[in-house]
């Protein structure tokens, strides 16, 4: 290499060609990422908006040419009573899922602080196992557990005298069915949120906690006035992520109902999917998807702001 002979000349300013190279180098390094993300995420996002302004059915799909309808798709959706139901259902579903996830996760995270080491290892392992299991697999499991004929849940509820659940079909009644789906989503979401909150709890300084204790703060007060404010950024990020995931829920409902959910089970993602791939109205489906993205953009804004702030503090 011959580098040993060359004495580094620390005094002189970098030569011009070298400088040019370092100036262009970072752009060359991020270039491939920009191409992939731009081409396969950003461009489709733009195309989605463009599609939502077209009539794009089966005929247009074959011709590769949509028919411009302006805001027509949006007008059609906004007067559609089914769409209003879908929005309300999606929001309520998200609220239930996010609220219950945060509640249980925080409780389990606090419990993790209290239990002895061996129990902590057991509980953590259980959480990691649940977290690791692919969503499709978990949906299949819950489908089996809630099977109306041989499902273990119906058996257990009957044995525990909660009621007569023999041959009870949970999905006949959409309120019950959606409650089951909330359970499936929350169960799957608890590990990530719990472990994240627990990691945050470990960072709460013990001396601050002790000081609060000495000053006579009870357990609830210590949580509310010491722990919660310190964990605020973590709660914010976790809430945003959960909202984004739960509002766009698709797999759990779609697969649980054997790819044939009735309109009582339509959430916004399923409705958009049904309009586009079920009845080949890609323009309408795109308009619904745009509305979904717009609602999520608000949540994303807070998420990005908090993540950037956290990254800056950490740096």
**Using rule CB under 8 A, residue 177 touches another protein:** no
> What does the H/E/C string look like for the chain?
CCCCCCCCCCCCCCCHHHHHHHHHHHHHHHHHHHHHHHHHHHHHHHHHHHHCCEECCHHHHHHCCCEECCCHHHHHHHCCHHHHHHHHHHHHHHHHHHHHHHHHHHHHHHHHHHCCHHHHHHHHHHHHHHHHCCHHHHHHHHHHHCCCCCCHHHHHHHHCCCCCCCCCCCCCCHHHHHHHHHHHHHHHHHHHHHHHHHHHHCCCCHHHHHHHHHCCCCHHHHHHHHHHHHHHHHHHHHHHHHHHHHHCCCHHHHHHCCCCCCHHHCCHHHHHHHHHHHCCCHHHHHHHHHHHHHHHHHHHHHHHHHHHHHHHHHC
Q: Work out which of 74, 131, 179, 264 binds another protein, going by CB under 8 A.
A: 131
CB of 273 to another protein, least distance (A): 7
Give the footprint of another protein on residues 18-37 (CB under 8 A): 22-23, 25-34, 36-37
Give the footprint of another protein on residues 179-208 (CB under 8 A): 187, 190-192, 195-196, 199-200, 203-204
CB of 11 to another protein, least distance (A): 14
**Using rule CB under 8 A, residue 302 touches another protein:** no
Nearer to another protein, 71 or 304 (CB): 304
Nearer to another protein, 71 or 107 (CB): 107
Question: Whats the size of the chain, residue-wise?
Answer: 315
Give the footprint of another protein on residues 215-244 (CB under 8 A): 230-231, 233-234, 237-238, 241, 244
CB of 92 to another protein, least distance (A): 18
Per-residue x/- track, 142-171, another protein (CB under 8 A) = xxxx-x-xx-x--x----------x-----
Nearer to another protein, 42 or 92 (CB): 42
Per DSSP bridges, beta strands 67-68 and 54-55 are: antiparallel
**Using rule CB under 8 A, residue 12 touches another protein:** no
CB of 50 to another protein, least distance (A): 8
The owner of tokens 């740096």 is: 315
Give the footprint of another protein on residues 48-87 (CB under 8 A): 48, 51, 56, 61, 64
Give the footprint of another protein on residues 239-268 (CB under 8 A): 241, 244, 247-248, 250-251, 255, 258-259
CB of 116 to another protein, least distance (A): 6
Per-residue x/- track, 100-129, another protein (CB under 8 A) = --------x--xx-xxx--xx-xx-xxxxx
CB of 130 to another protein, least distance (A): 5
* Contact present, 268 and 86 (Cβ < 8 Å): yes
């Amino acid at each position: 290499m011959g580098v040993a002979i060359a004495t580094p000349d620390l005094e002189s300013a970098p030569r011009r060609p070298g400088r040019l190279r370092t100036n262009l180098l970072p752009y060359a390094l991020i270039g491939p990422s920009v191409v992939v993300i731009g081409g396969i995420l950003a461009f489709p996002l733009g195309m989605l908006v463009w599609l939502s302004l077209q009539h794009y059915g089966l005929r247009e799909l074959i011709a590769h040419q949509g028919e411009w309808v302006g805001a027509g798709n949006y007008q059609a959706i906004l007067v559609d009573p089914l769409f209003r139901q879908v929005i309300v259902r999606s929001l309520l579903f998200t609220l239930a899922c996010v609220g219950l996830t945060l509640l249980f996760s925080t409780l389990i995270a606090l419990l993790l602080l209290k239990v002895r080491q061996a129990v902590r290892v057991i509980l953590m392992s259980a959480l990691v196992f649940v977290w690791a299991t692919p969503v499709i697999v978990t949906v299949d499991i819950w489908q089996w557990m809630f099977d109306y004929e041989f499902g273990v849940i119906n058996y257990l509820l009957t044995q525990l005298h909660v009621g007569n659940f023999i041959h009870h079909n949970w999905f006949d009644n959409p309120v019950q069915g959606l409650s089951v789906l909330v359970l499936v989503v929350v169960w799957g979401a608890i590990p990530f949120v719990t472990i994240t909150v627990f990691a945050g709890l470990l960072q709460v300084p013990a001396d601050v906690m002790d000081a609060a204790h000495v000053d006579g703060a009870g357990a609830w007060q210590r949580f509310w006035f010491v722990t919660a404010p310190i964990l605020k950024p973590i709660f914010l990020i976790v809430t945003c992520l959960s909202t984004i995931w739960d509002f766009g829920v698709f797999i759990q409902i779609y697969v649980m109902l054997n790819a044939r959910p009735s309109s009582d089970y339509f959430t916004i993602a399923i409705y958009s999917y049904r309009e586009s791939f079920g009845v080949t109205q890609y323009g309408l489906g795109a308009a619904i998807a745009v509305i979904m993205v717009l609602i999520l953009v608000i949540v994303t804004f807070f998420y990005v702001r908090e993540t950037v702030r956290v990254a800056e503090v950490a740096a």
